[in-house]
A and B are shown apart, each in its own frame.
Chain A
Amino acid sequence: MIWVNTIVQGILLGGLYALFAAGLSLVFGIMRLVNLAHGDLIVLGAYLILLLVTLLGLSPFVAVLVAAPAMFALGWALQRYMLNRVLGDDILPPLLVTFGLSIVLQNALLEGFSADSQRLPTAGLASASIELGAINVGVLPLMTLVTAVLVIVVLNQIFYRTRLGRAFRATSDDAVTASLMGIKPANIFAVATGIAMIIVTIAALYLGTRANFDPSVGPARLIYAFEAVIIGGLGSLWGTLLGGIIIGLAQTLGAAINPEWQILSGHIAFLLVLLVRPRGLFPRAVD
Chain B
Amino acid sequence: MTLINASSHRVEIATSASRLAAIAGFVIVVLLFAAPAFVSRRLLQDLFFILTMLGLAQCWNLLAGYGGLVSIGQQAFVGIGAYALFGTSILLGVNPVPAILIGGVVAALLAIPTAFFAFRLAGAYFAIGTWVIAEIVRLLVAQWKMLGGGTGTSLPNSIRREFWFTETIQDLFGVRAAASRDILAYWLALILVLSVIGGIYWLLRSRRGLALSAVRDNLQAARSVGVDALRMRWFVFISAAFGTGMIGALIYMQKARISPDAAFSVQDWTAYVIFIVVIGGIGTIEGPIIGVLVFFILQALLADFGSWYLMILGVIGIAVMLFAPRGLWGLFSDRTGIQLFPIRRRLVRPMISNDKREG
Contacts and interface: CB of A to CB of B under 8 A. Distances in A.
Interface of A: 32-34, 36, 82, 85-86, 91-97, 99-104, 106-108, 110-111, 219, 222-223, 226-227, 230, 260, 263-264, 267-268, 270-271, 274-275, 278, 287
Interface string B300-332: 000000111011011101100110010000000
B139 A100 contact: no
B136 A268 contact: yes
Contacts, number: 114
B283 to A, nearest CB: 9
30 contacts: A33-B124, A34-B125, A34-B128, A92-B68, A92-B282, A93-B322, A94-B124, A97-B322, A99-B72, A99-B271, A100-B318, A102-B314, A103-B311, A104-B310, A104-B311, A107-B307, A108-B307, A111-B307, A111-B308, A223-B131, A223-B135, A226-B128, A226-B132, A230-B121, A230-B125, A260-B142, A263-B139, A271-B132, A271-B136, A287-B123
B311 to A, nearest CB: 4
A104 B321 contact: no
Contacts of B143: 260
A36 B127 CA distance: 10
Contact of B318 (A104, A107, A227, A268): A104
A267 B315 contact: no
Name the residue in B121, B267, B278, B314 with the highest tally of chain A Cβ atoms < 10 Å from its Cβ: B314
B117 interface: yes
A286 B304 CA distance: 49
Contacts of B308: 107, 111
Range for the number of chain B residues in contact with chain A: 35 or more
Given A100-B314, A267-B139, A93 B321 contact: yes
Contact of B311 (A36, A91, A108): A108
Contacts of B321: 86, 93, 96-97, 100
Contacts of A99: 72, 271, 274, 317
Given A33-B124, A97-B318, A100-B318, 18 more contacts: A36-B72, A82-B322, A85-B322, A91-B124, A92-B68, A95-B70, A95-B124, A96-B278, A96-B321, A99-B72, A100-B317, A101-B318, A107-B308, A111-B308, A111-B311, A260-B143, A267-B135, A267-B136
A95 B325 CA distance: 12
Contacts of A108: 307, 311
A86 B322 contact: yes
B334 to A, nearest CB: 17
A230 B123 CA distance: 13
Closest 5 pairs (CB-CB, A-B): A34-B124, A104-B314, A107-B307, A103-B314, A100-B317
Name the residue in A32, A82, A102, A108 with the highest tally of chain B Cβ atoms < 10 Å from its Cβ: A108
Contact of A267 (B132, B274, B306): B132
B122 interface: yes
Contacts of B129: 230, 274
Nearest to B271: A103
Contacts of A264: 136, 139-140
Nearest to B313: A103
B128 A274 contact: no
Secondary structure type dominating chain B contacts: helix
Contacts of A92: 64, 68, 70, 282
B120 interface: yes
Interface of B: 64, 68, 70, 72, 117, 120-125, 127-129, 131-133, 135-136, 139-140, 142-143, 266-267, 271, 274-275, 278, 282, 306-308, 310-311, 313-315, 317-318, 321-322, 325
Contacts of A95: 70, 124, 127
Contacts of B314: 100-104, 107
Contact of B307 (A86, A110, A223, A230): A110
A151 B143 CA distance: 38
A100 B315 contact: yes
Given A108-B311, A264-B139, A223 B271 contact: no
A271 B322 contact: no
A92 B317 CA distance: 13
A93 B122 CA distance: 16
A95 B72 CA distance: 10
B132 A223 contact: yes
B125 A96 contact: no
A287 B122 contact: yes
A219 B124 contact: no
Nearest to B65: A92
Contacts of A268: 136
B131 A274 contact: no
A91 B128 contact: no
A274 B121 contact: yes
Contacts of A96: 70, 274, 278, 317, 321
